[in-house]
Amino acid sequence: MTVTTSPQDPSTPFWSTRYGIAAAVPTDNMIARSLKTYGEWTEQTSDLLSALVDERHVVLEFGAEYAAHALWMSRAVGPGGQVHMVEPRRIRFQQSCATIALNGLDNVFAHAVWLGGSRGQHILRGDGRPDESVRGVTLDSLRLASLQLLKINETDALIDLIAGGVETLKTYRPLIYARLSGSEKAAGEVEAIKALGYRVWSHLPYLFNRENHAGVAQNLFPGVVQQNVIAASAGGNVDFTDLVEL
């Protein structure tokens, strides 16, 4: 399928992005504005992780972010790998699935659940919208056959997710790439990862990429970075010498 349109065209139901076609969504948040304007989302994250994700890998991403990164991860793992896209919010889940379907990504598996420390109903606060109740499951309960990368985009989720995934993390020792939840919680989140026998490095990707897919020079997010970390098993051979270890 070929769509000859630019990400800036407000009339199209599709956006052309660096890694495929995205279903157009309301641009009321930074992720959607970036996808529409630049045809990509936090490309510095993709640059870092793309060197670590290989064919036949299994990747799990918590917080689909309109499948922006699932698109390139699907390519990276190939037909023999799997991308598990977990999105607890109903509308965002449906929007992300639309993008997956548009691109015909057979190796992406979508889960409309919350990943936490226990099973049961989880309440998502609406930030001005109605609260949502979603089924909560644990990482261990998914019984993945393998896992090379755990990518956590949801804030205020990391510690509980780890608590519900101890066996999976001990068995497969995946790389962990996670967004921190702010200065008051960051230290506890880093320590929770270290307690599993991981080394942790800081990664601060800028939201604006001068060499963005659409070639747009305007910076909509001046000076804005994400507070992320990448972690690798202390017994492994992965070392990020160009990043600050925490």
Q: pLDDT > 70: what percent of the chain?
A: 94
User: In the chain, at which residue ranges do the beta strands (DSSP E only) sit?
Assistant: 14-17, 20-23, 58-62, 82-86, 108-111, 114-116, 120-124, 132-138, 149-152, 175-179, 198-203, 228-233
Residue ranges in 3-42 assigned as alpha helix (H): 30-38
Q: Residues 175, 200: contact at Cβ < 8 Å?
A: no
Residue-wise pLDDT tens digits, 137-149: 999 999 999 999 9
Q: Has residue 11 got a pLDDT over 90?
A: no
Q: Check residue 7 and give its pLDDT.
A: 47
Tokens 């804030």 label which residue?
155
Instruction: Locate 90 and state its tokens.
Output: 């109903």
Lowest-confidence pick of 43-57, 121-135, 184-198, 202-216? 121-135
Q: Has residue 19 got a pLDDT over 50?
A: yes
Q: Residues 169, 193: contact at Cβ < 8 Å?
A: no
Query: Roughly what angle, to the nearest 10 degrees, separates helices 68-77 and 43-50?
Result: 20
Q: Any residues with CB less than 8 A from the CB of 65 and at least 6 apart, and which?
A: 31, 41, 96, 153
Instruction: Locate 220 and state its tokens.
Output: 């909509």
Cα–Cα separations (whole angstroms), residue 20 to 2, 137, 207: 10, 30, 19
User: d(Cα 106, Cα 112) in Å, to the nearest integer?
Assistant: 17
Q: Has residue 181 got a pLDDT over 70?
A: yes
Q: Has residue 135 got a pLDDT over 50?
A: yes
Q: Has residue 182 got a pLDDT over 70?
A: yes
Q: Any residues with CB less than 8 A from the CB of 159 and at least 6 apart, and which?
A: 117, 188, 189, 192
Residue-wise pLDDT tens digits, 184-236: 999 999 999 999 999 999 999 999 999 999 999 999 999 999 999 999 999 89
Name the average pLDDT for the chain.
94
